[in-house]
Amino acid sequence: MQYHLNGFKPGNHQIPDAAREPASLAPIVDLPSEVDVLIVGCGPAGLALARQLAAFGDIKTCIVEQKPGPMLFGQADGISCRTMEIMEAFNSSEMLVKEAYQLHQNAFWEPDNEQPNHIKRTHKVADARLGLSEFTHSVVNQARLHDILLEGMAQSVTHLVPHYNRQLLTLEVDSELTQDLNAYPITASFERVDAQPAKVETIRARYVVGCDGARSAVRKNLSIVLEGDSANKAWGVMDVLLVTDFPDIRVKSFIQSKDNGAVMLIPREGGYLVRLYVELDLLDKDQRASNLELNVDDIIAKAQLIMSPYKVDVKEVAWWSIYEVGQRVADRFDNTPAGNPEGLIPRAFVAGDACHTHSPKGGWGLNTSLPDTFNLGWKLAAVLRGQSDAKLLQTYSSERRKIAQHLIEADRQMSALVATRPSAQKDTQVKTNTADIEKFIARQNGFIAGTSIQYNPSFICSGTEHQHLATGFTIGQRFHSAEAIRLTDGRPQHLGHLNKADGRWRIFIFGNQQNPTDRASDVYQLVQFLESSVTSPVKKYTQDNADIDAVIDVYGVFQQQDLSIEDLPDYLWPTKGKYGLRDYEKVFHAKQDSDIFSQRGIDRTSGCMVVVRPDQHIATILPLNATEELSAFFAEFMLA
Ligand code: FAD
C-alpha cells in the first residue's frame, strides 16, 4: 500500500485520506469504584494487557490514561517478528502485514576513502531475521498498533474502552490484604486533568499493573528502583517526507560519516515516509537532552552534514523528538520484596518502559513492553477465574526480568556500536564501524526478532529431558510455527496461528509411525486417556457444561497422508456448542514438500506431545505414553 504522498495524515490507511475522519471518542464516564484489574497507561504494554483481559466477560478491567485520547504520531515504529506473532494471536496481524514496511535488507555506508567528507555504500545484506518466523520484521507507526488493539478491545465481549484524561496521583497497596485473593488491596486515586475545578476519583482493585512508561508513577509509589546507567548521548529522531538523491532511501541504512556522527535510516510504511535517527551531542554527566535546547532544524542540519554529498530536502516533518540514551532495569517487577523469599502473591506489577528503559534504536521498547504483558495477562486471567493457583503470578517477574536484563545488555552494546563515543585515550573518540554493527545484528538476530526469548525452567516450563523428541520446538521459547495440511478440507494451516490469546492451553500430539486409527497405537491410547481418564487434565479442569476444549485444546498432527476423519477417535473431531456440531479443524497431516516433522526435528519413530502455554511458549515436551507426567505437570498449578 502507498500513502502519505501529499502529506502525513494519521489513522487507518485502508480508508482514503479524503474520507478519513478523526476517530470519535467514547463520552467520559466516571471511573468504576471497584475492578479486578486496574491498568495504568495506554501504551503498547497497557493496551496489549487490556486487549487480552477484555476477552473475558467475567473479569472487570479498567484502563486509565492521562492523555486526552489515543496516540496519533511517533514513538516506536519497529514491530518485531515476535510482536507480529502476538498480533496474530489477537487475530490482527493481517492489517499490519498490509500496511507496514517489511524489512528485507540492510545497507551500510561509511566515509569514502577517496573523498572522506562524502559517504559511500560499503555493502547491502539480507536482513538477518528473515526466516526466523513466518512474519518479517515490520515498520509501522506505533499509533496504528494502538488503534488495532483498541479496536479489538472495543469489539470484545466486554467492549472495553480506556478512561482518558486521568492522571494517577496516589497508589496504595494494603499489605494486610495482599494474601487474601478475594480482597481489594489496591487503592488508587486519579485526577481528571480536563476538569475545572480538578476532580479526584478513587478506585479499588484486586490487581494493578503499571504500564505508565519510563517515568512510571506506579513504580515510584511501589518504591521500585531503576538500576543502571544514565544517559551520555543525545539523539534526534524524525519522521519526514523528503526529496533526496540518496539511493538507499527505501532500505534500512546505517550511515557513518567521517567527523559528523552517524544516522540510522528506517524506511517507513506507505512508500514515502522515512525515519532518521541522528546522532547529536555527547552529554555531560547529569545533563539532559532537553538542556541542549535543540530543535528539529538542528536535527535536519546534522542529517544533511552526515549524509553529504547527498541532498536531504525535508518537505514535511510528521513527528520529531530528542532523547538521551541510558540503560536501566527495575530491581523488582512486582510489589513483593526482591527474590520474594516468602513466596508472597504479588498484587501490583510494573511492565514495559516502567521497568526497563533503553535506547530506541534497537527497536526493543515496544517489542519488549508488549510481550511483558502478553506474559502477564493470561496468568492474571487464570488466577482471577479460579483456574490456576495464584503462585502462577510469581512467574511474571522471574520470567520477564531476565529478558529485561538481556535487553539492557544488548542495548548497551548496540548503542556503543551505533554512535561515536569517548575512547579510553583522552581527547579521542571511537567511531562507528558498520562491520561491527552487521556482526552484532547477525549474532543477536533471534533476540532482536524476539523469537529466541526463552523462559527459565519452572513449574510452567519443564521436562527438558524429552527435548530430543522435538529439537525444533525449544522448551521455554515460543512455538515456532510451521504449516501442515488440515485433514478434513486439505487446507494448509500455520499451526502456530491456532495458539490464540484466549487463555487456553494447547497440546499438539505429533503422531509416530503407528496408524493413529489403530486402537493399540500410542496416539489412540493417549486420546482415550485425555477423553475419559479421571486423571486426565482435560477431564479434571474442564467444567461439565463447557466444551471439551474450553481449557485445554488438543490437536493431532500425523505423518500418514491417507487418514479419514471418521476412523479417528471422536475426541479429535469433538461435538461442541449448543447444537453439538462437530469441530473438523483439529487434525492435520504433514505436508509432502515442507514436512513439519523434518522442519521441527520431531522424532518420527516416537512422536511426542508438545504442550503450549496460553502465551504461545512451549511448556513441556513429553513422550506419547507419558500420561502420568502430563497429569502431574498440570496438577502443579491448575485448580480442579
Ligand atoms: P509508553 O508507550 O510510554 O506508555 C505509557 C503510557 O502511560 C503513556 O500513554 C502515558 O501517557 C501514560 N501515563 C504515564 N504516566 C501516567 C500517569 N501518572 N497516569 C496515567 N497515565 C500515565 N521507541 C522506539 O523503538 N523508537 C523510537 O523512536 C522511540 N521514540 C520514543 C520517543 C518518545 C518521546 C518516547 C516517550 C518513547 C519512544 N520510544 C521509541 C519508546 C517506545 O515508544 C516505548 O518503548 C514503548 O512505547 C513502551 O511502551 P509502554 O507501554 O511500556 O509505555
pLDDT in tens, 629-639: 999 999 999 99
- Location of C-alpha cell 485448580: 639
Whether residue 350 contacts residue 334, with contact meaning beta carbons closer than 8 Å, is answered with yes
Whether residue 627 contacts residue 526, with contact meaning beta carbons closer than 8 Å, is answered with yes
The third-level CATH classification (topology) of the domain covering 34-93+140-228+329-406 is: FAD/NAD(P)-binding domain (3.50.50)
Q: What is the pLDDT of residue 128?
A: 83
Sequence spans of domains, the chain: 34-93+140-228+329-406, 101-138+230-325+422-453, 464-635
Atom of ligand 1 nearest to the CA of 41: 7
Give me the phi and psi of 169, to 5 degrees please: -100, -55
Query: Of the residues 66, 75, 201, which should be mutated to test ligand 1's pocket, given the most ligand atoms within 8 Å of the CB?
Result: 75
Determine the distance separating the centroid of ligand 1 and the alpha carbon of 350, expressed in angstroms.
13
**Nearest Cα residue to atom 44 of ligand 1:** 365
346 has a pLDDT exceeding 70: yes
Determine the distance separating the centroid of ligand 1 and the alpha carbon of 308, expressed in angstroms.
33
CATH class as words, domain 464-635: alpha beta
Whether residue 589 contacts residue 558, with contact meaning beta carbons closer than 8 Å, is answered with yes
Determine the distance separating the centroid of ligand 1 and the alpha carbon of 353, expressed in angstroms.
7
Q: Which residues sit with their C-beta closer than 6 Å to ligand 1? A: 40-46, 64-67, 75-76, 78, 142, 166-168, 211-213, 217, 237, 321, 323, 352-354, 360, 363, 365-366, 369
Mean predicted confidence (pLDDT) in 171-177: 98
Residue 634: what residue type?
Answer: F
In whole angstroms, what is the distance from residue 47 CA to residue 64 CA? Answer: 10
39 has a pLDDT exceeding 80: yes
Mean predicted confidence (pLDDT) in 365-374: 95
Determine the distance separating the centroid of ligand 1 and the alpha carbon of 263, expressed in angstroms.
23
Q: Tell me how crowded residue 395 is: count the other CB atoms within 10 A of its CB.
A: 19
In whole angstroms, what is the distance from residue 102 CA to residue 139 CA? Answer: 6
Atom of ligand 1 nearest to the CA of 277: 28
- The burial of 11, by beta-carbon neighbours within 10 Å (0-12 exposed, 13-18 middle, 19 or more buried), is given as middle
Q: Tell me how crowded residue 637 is: count the other CB atoms within 10 A of its CB.
A: 19
Q: What is the pLDDT of residue 564?
A: 96
- Location of C-alpha cell 511517533: 74
576 has a pLDDT exceeding 80: yes
Average pLDDT taken over every residue of the chain: 93
Mean predicted confidence (pLDDT) in 207-226: 97
Beta strands in 261-311 (DSSP E): 262-267, 274-282
Indicate the pLDDT class of residue 287, thresholds 50, 70 and 90: low
Q: What is the pLDDT of residue 520?
A: 97
**Nearest Cα residue to atom 53 of ligand 1:** 213
Domain 101-138+230-325+422-453, classified CATH 3.30.9.10, yes or no? yes
Atom of ligand 1 nearest to the CA of 362: 25
In whole angstroms, what is the distance from residue 92 CA to residue 86 CA? Answer: 9
Q: What is the pLDDT of residue 290?
A: 66
How many helices and strands in the chain, by DSSP H and E? 14, 30
